[in-house]
Amino acid sequence: MPDSITRRPSAIANDDDKHVSYAIASEEDRCAPRCRLSIPARMRFSCSSSFAVEVTDMSLAGFACDALLATEPGTLCWLTLPGLGALEAEVVRHSNEGMGCAFKNLLNLAVLNHYVAKYPAK
């Protein structure tokens, strides 16, 4: 279930608006509720092979995973979740605890709800 948030923009919270651009959503701090989960996935950077990661946090706008590779913010990557094709994202933070990435295009709310229900946090 979503963690506590300080604000929830109506454009993001409303499932009726299916064409919210990332440009609009990214103007908000923590633009969408973040959900704790545990998804086995694959990640790939440009010109490299994919590797296994665990997605531990996800929202409509991005995700956090346990990848510990030294990666600079702004690096493009592709996340492949079970049952989905590769989703393009950009690294926004990296630390000893993993990395956080922003999706190029917002995730569909139904897709997020599916993964939250199927892969609860450990």
Closest CA to 88 of 97, 98, 99, 75: 75
Whole-angstrom Cα distance, residue 110 to residue 81? Answer: 14
Tell me, what amino acid is at 1? Answer: M
**pTM higher than 0.75 for the full model?**
no
The CA-atom distances, in angstroms, between 121 and each of 41, 53, 64, 70, 116 are 14, 14, 13, 25, 8
Q: What is the pLDDT of residue 76?
A: 96
The answer to whether 86 and 53 are in contact (CB under 8 A) is no
pLDDT for the residue numbered 17:
47
pLDDT on residue 73: 92
pLDDT, position 120 = 94
At 36 the pLDDT is 95
Structure tokens at 101: 């990435």
The predicted structure's pLDDT at residue 31: 61
Q: Which residues of 37-48 are buried (b: 16+ CB within 10 A; e: fewer)?
A: bebebebebeee
pLDDT value at residue 30: 54
Determine the pLDDT at residue 18.
45
Per-run averaged pLDDT (10 residues), the chain, 122 residues: 39 45 48 87 92 95 89 94 95 90 94 95 88
How much is the pLDDT for 8?
Answer: 38
Q: Give the model's pLDDT for residue 46.
A: 86
